[in-house]
Structure 1
């Protein structure tokens, strides 16, 4: 499906898939690193069925959004795109951010431009991330960023090794939408390798930088005044119970949901339970506005 093109920071083209009526209450969905807007397909349909307008975006450098030719993949670059999208909306949107999208949401609302969003839902992400979990995610993304795969079947095999708790994934049309075919006949992830090489990989090996990032995110989180909902995967190796407690000390008014048997990939692991949790929060928080 041809995406709708939105405008991010400094005119950066951002691709989006939209479900729901034009006058419905808007909800922006920002995926995790290495994913695309298609990760929200089922969630978007669910939100639309409850009277929301789901706007699932490809973060810069991902999917059908433009790559940053200047390597602008700092968390504030992603956050600035979210602010630009929110400010262009006719109604202040809610934001649901998974992993990278959630980090960008914290910075967008807590540091760059407060009062940009009507609410913020964070999916398995807090300022205090477990280094081992981050290393596992980054290692998976970096391993084949440049060399790619000989076939979609090879990519499916690598994903199965990364997600052993899920049934083995076949080289389905759905999977192939996360890949792009290079001129050399090899398949590559549908995101810019510079994203992982220039930003995330450096951060997991620099203790001082990790501490500064945690401090920056914690400071931004402490400034969140809008309704907030933290959703954790019950089996997450990225967000520990201690990290949840730290976040709730910073944002004491936040709602909290724990999705049993879900890992960091909450949306893909337990989509039904996740969908129920976000709909309950959004309806409870924005029900009166949705009914307008």
Structure 2
């Protein structure tokens, strides 16, 4: 029998409310899942359940401007601000959690553990992200997020068509109601859940750190020098972390462990949750207990 996650909120100094879910024993060590730029905390549902079933506390977070968390009136969507939001969430958890970050969540994990709050986490898992990501893959993600952002969709079928065009290797869902978690309904139309300022270039404080390759490499180096275990999980069909870019990252940081997930693209956890969850749990068992 499945157990529903327990939601909780933290409020930042600028008034932005961050919404998270907890699954499992609240006194157990925490694994904190941080989603990508086009996702919400719901994207981790199956992976969080698999981790919680192994006696961890699984916590999934909606970044500001995403999901059920507040949008920033100031348009503050810097990666360091996402990281500061997460640090507030961590203050409500047992010390030294594990961070699992996909794409934008991976950049947030790098800067949190390697720059803003060193020696506060016990392990870091990067999900299909390296500092020197492929620009063509990044552009494809941006184009998908930007398309129909202001016009919206007339039906869930239109949403499903757009998602399948972006992820052609993933079967089209038969139950379209599951898409609602990624949408906001307004005036009979469906819109993506994220704040348009996050993606359309009008944010006063955009996430420019994702382009600061040297800074992110320095953060990874600092994490490893602190003795924190790291794992890179790549989707074998990823166009953001190509095989060459993954191997260059691993050559630069040979202490980082690596799992290449067959049958998965950039959205690794959604494409092959079984293999993804197994890889994360196996890494945690060896390094984070």
Mean Cα deviation higher: 160-169 or 238-247: 238-247
Distance 1:193 1:211, change over 3 A: closer
Partner of 2:80: 76
Separation in structure 1 between the aligned mates of residue 21 and residue 210 of structure 2, nearest angstrom: 36
Gaps of 5+ in 2: none
> Could you state the TM-score of these two structures normalised by the residue count of structure 1?
0.89
2:131–2:210 CA contact under 8 A, matched in 1: no
2:75–2:197 CA contact under 8 A, matched in 1: yes
Separation in structure 2 between the aligned mates of residue 230 and residue 3 of structure 1, nearest angstrom: 28
Residue in structure 2 matching 1:67, options 71, 83, 91 = 71
**Residues 158-173 of structure 1: pairs in structure 2 closer than 5 A:** 158-170=162-174, 172-173=176-177
- Between the two proteins, the alignment pairs up a number of residues equal to 281
Separation in structure 1 between the aligned mates of residue 14 and residue 209 of structure 2, nearest angstrom: 28
> Could you state the TM-score of these two structures normalised by the residue count of structure 2?
0.90
Separation in structure 2 between the aligned mates of residue 9 and residue 125 of structure 1, nearest angstrom: 29
Residue in structure 1 matching 2:194, options 182, 191, 202 = 191
1:106–1:220 CA contact under 8 A, matched in 2: yes
Secondary structure of the residue aligned to 2:136 is: helix
Distance 1:211 1:267, change over 3 A: closer
Partner of 2:269: 267
Residue in structure 1 matching 2:21, options 17, 23, 45 = 17
1:74–1:199 CA contact under 8 A, matched in 2: no
1:218–1:250 CA contact under 8 A, matched in 2: no
Deviation track 1:39-81 (CA, whole Å, cap 9, x = no partner) reads 0111111111100000011111111111111000111111222
Distance 1:285 1:11, change over 3 A: farther
Distance 1:101 1:142, change over 3 A: same
Partner of 2:40: 36
Higher helix share: 1
1:73–1:199 CA contact under 8 A, matched in 2: no
Partner of 2:159: 155
2:76–2:206 CA contact under 8 A, matched in 1: no
